[in-house]
Structure 1
Amino acid sequence: MRLSIVAASVALLLAGCHSSQNTQSTLANAAAVSQTKAESDAQKVIELVERYFAESLVINPLSATFVGVMDYNDKFSAPISNESLAEVAAFERRYLAEAQAIDGSKLTGQDRLNYEIFVYARQQAVDGLAFPSHLIPFNQMWGVQNFYPMLGSGGSAQPFHTEQDYINFIKRTDGFAAYMDSAIAAMREGMQKGIVLPKSLIVKVLPQLQAHIVSQPQDSVFYGPVNLLADNAQLSEEQKARLKADYEHMIMQVIVPVYQRTYDFMLNEYLPAGRDSVGLAALPDGKAWYEHMIAVNTTLPLTAEEIHQYGLAEVARIRSEMDKVRETVGFKGNLAAFFEYLKTDPQFFFSSEQALIQAYEQVKADINRRLPALFEVFPKADYEVKAVEAYRAASSAGASYQQPAPDGSRPGIFYINTHDLKSQPRYLVETLSIHEAAPGHHFQIAIQQEVEALPDFRKYEFYTVFAEGWALYAESLGKELGLFTDPYMWYGRLSDEQLRAMRLVVDTGLHAKGWTREQAIAFMRDNSSMGDADIEAEVERYIAIPGQALSYKVGQRAIRQLREKLATRLGGRFDVRKFHTQVLIDGAMPMPVLEAKLLRWADSL
């Protein structure tokens, strides 16, 4: 009996071992299958995003030029039509469906980021198809009427070296003219549907169009490439003469007439049909449209009311900090008087465009010396400081940044608007340079382009909340870099942050709470030392591009909160330079994707 029990026990033991071996084998096989599937899904994602990017350049040939793909330099975007709109809609829906058919749950590292960012971007693009933005194809802040002259000036991404380069632009200009004519047709449709620009914006577009209606080709900004011919050793004199004649014909027979047609339409038909309201909510389905713009520009589940209240709190906090500066410098009047003093006293302003540009070049060198204290990764490309071109200066922002050429042939450009020197006070030099150049936009955008591991769609992906949030966060690093030691320079930093805080209040006020243009102007005048012309330009910017102005403070807050969260989690292991590397090294992305990525990084340390 004992032998039987022992035999049975051994049998059970052997059966258990055999079962365990089977289980381990099954688990190993399942893991191998899972790994193979993950690798297969990762490859599908890589192939998908590469196909998307290549196909997107066919649809957006202007973007191709700016990312260094010169195959479409003779092409312009398709004219606005039901067919072209349907093509874009089908394109976005098809790629979203393909992406959603892939199981992204097992992906890791860059594969996971590729998947998450791509799905997010395609979903957002599809969501946007519900709103008829094509009926308002341009305004005073953005649009081809201003973009195309920059491209054709000879100083932008469009190359003008070979004879074919010049021929390409002539062909591209025919496409530009066709697009502008289609924009007129789209705006006429918008007039019928009650979807038009406010009158206050239309009047700002008119001089932008009129600037290109010239009587002599030499007076056109498009004549710039002709001026380059003299120093072009690649071309014969015969080629130069022929190209000069062709360009003069292009300017006078294609460019001037299309600008004239657009100007006449805007003045005689569109302006009378323009609306007196300014907010997006005043348009059909405008409330939902603005909610979509909040989602686009913040990538976070925020409501207009939440943002409005956050803005009011920040405006009050920053006003208090400004008052401390007033006390520090010994100014005897109240804060309103201090604002007026900063707006009017000659000591705070430059006497010439040259002096203004030189000041920014000097602070560039100073900031560059300090950056290694907080950064370990730097862009290879440099940037240069330039004045905004005269033809677009009157309606342009005070400063902006243009990315360098991906191949390194052109540096980044930090544009300063010298149109009104009273709008460029000395105390803004440090904070504005940090924001637009290094370590702000120049670092974020140039590094993103230069990271070889990123697929092309991510190298050139742009999320306003990431880009502008980073740039404003970069401003907040000024004291850590040893800047803002002068109390007026510190006031400049506060002034810049106050502008971004007021934007939260004004943008939501205009587009969700029924504020008028005048109400928004009054709020900004009461809470800053900005000049009236600057305030009006800012308010009209918010009217023109709803939601964009929300991205700065919202993005800054998100990045700062992530830094604090990781510093608490990692304790003594937290290194701010490595944190900045992790924020920048994978390019722009939605805030929820950035947070998940940074938390995974912290857990891996």
Structure 2
Amino acid sequence: MKLLSSTLIILLTVLIGCKDQKPAPARDDSASLDSLFQEYYHFKQRINPIEASKGGETKYNDHIANYISDPYQKDLKTNYGQFLEASKKYDSTMVSPAQWMSLKVLQWDCNIKLEGLNNNLVTIASPIYDMPSFELMPLAQISSLQLYVAQLATGKSVQPFHTVKDYENWLKRVDDYLVFLDTCIVKMKVGMSKAVVLPKVLTEKMVPQLDAFITDPVEEHLFFTPITAMPEDFSKEDRERLSKAYGKMITDKLKPKYKDLQQFLIQQYLPSCRESSGLGALPNGPETYNYLIKYHTTTNMTVDEIHELGKSEVTRILIEMEKAKTKIGFKGDIKSFFEHIRSRKDQMPFTEASQVIDNFNSIKDRIGLKLKDVFDISPKADFEVRRTEAFREASASAEYVPGTKDASRAGIFYVPIPDVASYNKYSDEALFLHEAIPGHHYQLSLQQENTNLPEFLHPESMGVFVEGWALYAESLGKELGLYEDPIQYFGMLSMEMHRAIRLVVDTGIHGKGWTREQAIQYSLENEAESEAAVISEIERYMATPGQALSYKIGQLKIRELRTRAESALGEAFSIQEFHNQVLNSGSLPLVLLEEKIEAWIKNGGKKS
């Protein structure tokens, strides 16, 4: 009995203790995951110093990554692999839903970059615009570092020139850039030995882009521009010292390097360039293009699927164009109408470049009257409309460069105006919606101002989301008080057609063996762009395979998700909240965006 009594006492004690004891708290890895996100952000800044400058981080303003060098690529492989492994210890029960979404974006980024870095021979994960580039074809006539650096050199882009330290930083950054150019020549020679070279027509366009940098006198040189705009509070000694240093940099370093590069291109590289237009002609070309499709669309779509989707979209939009043509009152066929739009003098009314800029600013004012009907959030940052610099204007498309996340530097909407007398304004409303509000300026500013997102999600990132959103934004014109002029509505259709054509010609060039001339002809038959503009665009696709696919693939998915939500939610659907849901998690791979919107629909479309 004594033994039994002792056992009962022990059992009672245990039971009482269990009753009083609280359940162990669920494991919470939120803080640990936030630390991983912060480490990833710092890694991304380190490997991409120009993008760090773009975001307002000053730590790397004196550095340019030599992203085609072997040590750089080895560093990327190591770090992307380590971050991917570190990310695998988390699951959705340990962190918040928002953190889980961000973690899946990090994993997508690591996986896609590693796949590119391991691609045989051709592609690497480049820091320029955070998109793939080519190790053995590192320079081109568009979206290439030599053009971006020249843009920085103006002193009117993302490189700051406010302090003496800023001016000294730029001199060091230029030194890094010159090392990069040396590496380019070495890598391009390797490319020549392996038949991995640019199409001849692209090299021919690149050669004259270097002329002014070689021949312009120091005082008129683009790289001397910051000296002509030095802040007034600089001392006389600093002014003289910096002026001398910049002049010496241009005379002793930059001009000789550009001359060497140009001579290499003309004498050695150009004779080795290929006549073919697409990646398919290169070693590992088809496999590389399939990777680029995946990278730029965040889907597993095939060349054939995208090609056929593009043709079906071209057919659909042509039907809408016929309706617009009839409304405008034109009696001829659609090809005649394209030529009519291209040559209408009332659509080319400008005599000064400033008038083009003023027209865009007037569109901004009109949109402002109805913006709150469609959006209930807006960014703090402002932007300005600016003419594209002369050195790259002939080959450039309109583009947006974000300001800093603290809104201290405004975003810039660049507009190329190579010939103001022939500048046609028929699609300016759609172009403004795409590049500015509510397109790139709106989405990218909201993204980098969003303090609920980890900082690695603040920069531009997923092109299919960023460009898909901007193309979707073009369709909001009527809701925002635009497209009252039927020509401007036709302009919107033309912009959409332009992106549908891209699905056909990009896959045609790189996946089906199309020539440059075939692609040009297909475009001219189906859109109202001038021949010069079409040629520039086709050559852009030749230089940046797959990137042009992102616009339409992303737009179609966002439009599909909106239609799905409208149908499922009925009167509970809020266009403002739908746009919030699309925009408040940063730029997402399409599969993750679809997951998010599906969950929102299941939750009754409630504000979150």
TM, length-normalised to structure 1: 0.92
What CA distance in whole angstroms lies between the structure 2 residues aligned with 1:181 and 1:174? 11
Specify the alignment match of 1:451 in structure 2: 450
1:493-512 matched pairs, under 5 angstroms: 493-512=492-511
What CA distance in whole angstroms lies between the structure 2 residues aligned with 1:60 and 1:480? 38
- Give 1:106 deviation, angstroms: 4.7
Change (3 A) 1:394 1:405: same
Contact kept in structure 1, 2:510 and 2:545, CA below 8 Å: yes
Contact kept in structure 1, 2:401 and 2:413, CA below 8 Å: yes
Specify the alignment match of 1:439 in structure 2: 438
What CA distance in whole angstroms lies between the structure 1 residues aligned with 2:274 and 2:452? 48
| 1:107-160 CA-partner distances (Å, limit 9, x unpaired) | 332211121100011001001112332111121111111111111211112221
1:278-289 matched pairs, under 5 angstroms: 278-289=277-288
Specify the code of the residue in structure 2 equivalent to 1:309: E
Q: How many residues align?
A: 576
Contact kept in structure 2, 1:79 and 1:182, CA below 8 Å: no
- Give 1:325 deviation, angstroms: 1.8
Specify the code of the residue in structure 1 equivalent to 2:466: A
What CA distance in whole angstroms lies between the structure 2 residues aligned with 1:326 and 1:95? 54
Specify the alignment match of 1:582 in structure 2: 581
Select which of 87, 97, 105 maps to 1:99: 87
- Give 1:329 deviation, angstroms: 2.0
- Give 1:218 deviation, angstroms: 1.4
Specify the code of the residue in structure 2 equivalent to 1:583: V
What CA distance in whole angstroms lies between the structure 1 residues aligned with 2:589 and 2:32? 22
- Give 1:45 deviation, angstroms: 2.2
Residue 479 of structure 2: SS of its match in structure 1? coil
- Give 1:28 deviation, angstroms: 8.6
Specify the alignment match of 1:187 in structure 2: 188
Specify the alignment match of 1:350 in structure 2: 349
What CA distance in whole angstroms lies between the structure 1 residues aligned with 2:499 and 2:264? 35
Specify the alignment match of 1:387 in structure 2: 387
What CA distance in whole angstroms lies between the structure 2 residues aligned with 1:243 and 1:308? 54
Residue 211 of structure 1: SS of its match in structure 2? helix
Specify the code of the residue in structure 2 equivalent to 1:598: I
- Give 1:185 deviation, angstroms: 0.6
Residue 140 of structure 1: SS of its match in structure 2? coil
Is 1:72 aligned with 2:60? Answer: yes
Specify the alignment match of 2:541 in structure 1: 542
Specify the alignment match of 1:268 in structure 2: 267
Specify the alignment match of 1:396 in structure 2: 396
- Give 1:420 deviation, angstroms: 3.2
Specify the alignment match of 1:142 in structure 2: 143
Is 1:430 aligned with 2:418? Answer: no
- Give 1:80 deviation, angstroms: 3.4
Specify the alignment match of 2:557 in structure 1: 558
Specify the code of the residue in structure 1 equivalent to 2:439: G
What CA distance in whole angstroms lies between the structure 2 residues aligned with 1:514 and 1:365? 46
Change (3 A) 1:530 1:422: farther
| RMSD over equivalenced CA pairs, Å | 2.0
Specify the code of the residue in structure 1 equivalent to 2:557: A
Specify the alignment match of 1:524 in structure 2: 523
Specify the code of the residue in structure 1 equivalent to 2:453: L
- Give 1:90 deviation, angstroms: 1.3
Contact kept in structure 2, 1:350 and 1:356, CA below 8 Å: no
- Give 1:83 deviation, angstroms: 2.2
Residue 560 of structure 2: SS of its match in structure 1? helix
| 1:6-53 CA-partner distances (Å, limit 9, x unpaired) | xxxxxxxxxxxx9xx99x99x994xx55x31xx22x333211121122
Specify the code of the residue in structure 1 equivalent to 2:333: N
Identity level (%): 38
Specify the code of the residue in structure 2 equivalent to 1:193: K
Name the one with the larger helix percent.
1
What CA distance in whole angstroms lies between the structure 2 residues aligned with 1:224 and 1:71? 23
Residue 155 of structure 2: SS of its match in structure 1? coil
Specify the alignment match of 2:459 in structure 1: 460
What CA distance in whole angstroms lies between the structure 2 residues aligned with 1:228 and 1:193? 46
Residue 242 of structure 1: SS of its match in structure 2? helix
Is 1:405 aligned with 2:393? Answer: no
1:152-301 matched pairs, under 5 angstroms: 152-229=153-230, 232-301=231-300
- Give 1:471 deviation, angstroms: 0.6
Specify the alignment match of 2:129 in structure 1: none
Specify the alignment match of 1:127 in structure 2: 115
1:37-76 matched pairs, under 5 angstroms: 39-40=28-29, 42-76=30-64
What CA distance in whole angstroms lies between the structure 2 residues aligned with 1:369 and 1:542? 37
Is 1:375 aligned with 2:375? Answer: yes
What CA distance in whole angstroms lies between the structure 1 residues aligned with 2:173 and 2:416? 29
TM, length-normalised to structure 2: 0.91
What CA distance in whole angstroms lies between the structure 2 residues aligned with 1:484 and 1:161? 41
Specify the code of the residue in structure 2 equivalent to 1:558: K
Residue 107 of structure 1: SS of its match in structure 2? coil
Specify the code of the residue in structure 2 equivalent to 1:391: F
Structure 2: state its 5+ residue gaps. 1-11, 123-133
Contact kept in structure 2, 1:59 and 1:78, CA below 8 Å: no
- Give 1:301 deviation, angstroms: 2.0
Select which of 89, 109, 118 maps to 2:106: 118
Contact kept in structure 1, 2:77 and 2:117, CA below 8 Å: yes
Specify the alignment match of 1:6 in structure 2: none
- Give 1:576 deviation, angstroms: 0.6
- Give 1:103 deviation, angstroms: 3.1
